[in-house]
C-alpha cells in the first residue's frame, strides 16, 4: 500500500502563493525535539536549522519569532521589535495571522530549514521567500 504524501497547512499556503520549497523528513526522537538534534539526525549544518517560537505580549498579543535552533531568544530585543513580550509550530500556515519576525542571520544562508507544521517534517526554503510568505519583519532577536 502506497503511503500518502504529507501535506501540511504550511505547504498548502506556500503552494497557493507559488513559493518554491522542498521538504525533509526525519525520524522524531520524543526525548530530544531540539533543532540541534534535528540537524544531527538529518545530517545538516545546525546553522541552517531555525526554530519557531510563539510568544505572547501583555499588550501586543501573540507574535512569532524564527531564530537559529542553537540560539536563545533575547526578550529585550523581541520587546523592542514587537512592542512588549513576555514568555515564550511552523511560521507558515497558522490558523490566524500573527506578526512574524525572522532573525537576520537567516539571510546569510541560501536556504534554511523551518518546521512544516508537523513533527518529523521540515520545509527547506529561502529566507526571502519565507519572509514574503508570512510578511515578516527582519531583525536581530537572539542573545549574543
Query: Is residue 98 pLDDT above 90, yes or no?
Result: no
Which strands form 137-139's sheet, in the order they lie side by side?
Answer: 50-57, 61-68, 100-103, 137-139
Residue 16 pLDDT level (bands cut at 50, 70, 90):
very high
> Residue 115's beta-bridge partner residues?
122
CATH number for the domain harbouring residue 69: 3.90.960.10
- Confirm whether 79 is domain-assigned: yes
Q: What is the pLDDT of residues 26-72, one digit of tens each?
A: 888 888 888 888 899 889 999 999 999 988 877 778 889 999 999 99
> Residue 139's beta-bridge partner residues?
103
**Whole-number Cα distances in Å, 68 to 1, 7, 53:** 38, 25, 11
Residue of 128 and 99 predicted with greater confidence: 128
Q: Are 4 and 114 in contact (CB under 8 A)?
A: no
Query: Is residue 118 pLDDT above 80, yes or no?
Result: yes
* Number of folded domains that form the chain: 1
- Confirm whether 18 is domain-assigned: no
Query: Is residue 90 pLDDT above 60, yes or no?
Result: yes
- What angle, 0 to 180 degrees and rounded to 10, lies between the N-to-C axes of helices 9-16 and 127-134? 90
**How crowded is residue 119: how many other Cβ atoms within 10 Å of its Cβ?**
12
Residue of 85 and 138 predicted with greater confidence: 138
Query: Is residue 135 pLDDT above 60, yes or no?
Result: yes
Q: Which domain, by its residues, includes 62?
A: 23-139
Q: Are 112 and 123 in contact (CB under 8 A)?
A: no
- Confirm whether 106 is domain-assigned: yes
Which residue's entry shows cell 537559529? 68
Residue 68's pLDDT is: 96
- Confirm whether 92 is domain-assigned: yes
- Confirm whether 13 is domain-assigned: no
Mean pLDDT of 131-135: 95
Amino acid at each position: 500500500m502506497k503511503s500518502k504524501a504529507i501535506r501540511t497547512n504550511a505547504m498548502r499556503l506556500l503552494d497557493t502563493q507559488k513559493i518554491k520549497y522542498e521538504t525533509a523528513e526525519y525520524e522524531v526522537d520524543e526525548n530530544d525535539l531540539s533543532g540541534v538534534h534535528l540537524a544531527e539526525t538529518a545530517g545538516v549544518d545546525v546553522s541552517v536549522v531555525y526554530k519557531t517560537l510563539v510568544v505572547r505580549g501583555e499588550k501586543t498579543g501573540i507574535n512569532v519569532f524564527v531564530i537559529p535552533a542553537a540560539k536563545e531568544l533575547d526578550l529585550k530585543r523581541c520587546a523592542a521589535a514587537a512592542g512588549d513580550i513576555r514568555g515564550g509550530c511552523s511560521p507558515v500556515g497558522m490558523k490566524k495571522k500573527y506578526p512574524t519576525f525572522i532573525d537576520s542571520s537567516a539571510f546569510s544562508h541560501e536556504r534554511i530549514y523551518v518546521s512544516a507544521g508537523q513533527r518529523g517534517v521540515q520545509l527547506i526554503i529561502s529566507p526571502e521567500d519565507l519572509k514574503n510568505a508570512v510578511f515578516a519583519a527582519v531583525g536581530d532577536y537572539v542573545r549574543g
